[in-house]
Amino acid sequence: MAVGLLTLHIAIPDCRSLKQKRSRIQPVLARLHREFNLAAAEMNLQDIHQEAEIQCTALSTSSREVQAYLQHVVDFFAETWPDEEILQYRIECL
C-alpha cells in the first residue's frame, strides 16, 4: 500500500480578502475531491489572502501509480484554474 501526498502552493493574485479567498478555495477542494476521489484540504497560509497551500492525499497499491495519479491532479489543476498560478508543488510517497 502506497500513500501519496501532494502539496500545491498557489497564488490567487486578484483576491482582496480572506472571505474572498475562502470562496475561491472551497469549490477547488470540492471539485478535486469529486473528480479524483481523494482527500483535499487547505493547509497553512490561512492568514494570507493571495496565497494558499492545498494538500491532497491518495492511496494506491504502488508508489509509481500514486505518483502518476497525483501528477494528473497537478495537470488538471493547471488546466482547470489557469488564473490561480501554481508557485510550487511537491509529490511525496509515504
Number of independent structural domains in the chain: 1
Predicted local confidence at residue 74, as pLDDT = 96
Contacts with 72 (C-beta within 8 Å, 6 or more apart), sequence order: 36
CATH number of domain containing 42: 3.30.70.1120
Looking at residue 77, its pLDDT comes to 94
- Residue 94 predicted with pLDDT over 90: no
For 36, the domain range is 2-93
pLDDT digits (tens, 9 = 90+) for 27-76: 999 999 999 999 999 998 888 889 999 999 999 888 999 999 999 999 99
Residues 6+ apart with CB under 8 A from 8: 53, 54, 55, 56, 74, 77, 86, 88, 89
51-60 and 2-11 beta bridge pairing: antiparallel
